[in-house]
Amino acid sequence: GTKQFYNVALQLLGYHVHYDYDFADPTGFMQRNALPFVQDISDNQKLISAFYRLLNTRA
């Protein structure tokens, strides 16, 4: 779920697949651009944290 979450998150932030970032590596793009992300969304607490960070991120 981590890649899927961040593929959607980046699109919600206004980034475009293939033009701005690679669909297979959304977290790599986020890391290179100093965007906050949760490394491995594997439980509800991490998912909540990922949503919180997304809601507080400006592109």
- What domain count does the chain have? 1
d(CA 40, CA 47): 9
**What pLDDT does residue 37 have?**
94
d(CA 37, CA 31): 8
For the chain (59 residues), the mean pLDDT of every run of 10, in chain order, is: 96 96 97 94 96 89
pTM, rounded to two decimals? 0.89
Residue 49's domain spans which residues?
2-55
d(CA 47, CA 21): 22
Burial (Cβ within 10 Å: 0-12, 13-18, ≥19) of residue 30: buried
**What pLDDT does residue 9 have?**
96
**What pLDDT does residue 59 have?**
66
Please, what sign has the CA dihedral across residues 17, 18, 21, 25?
A: positive
**What pLDDT does residue 35 have?**
94
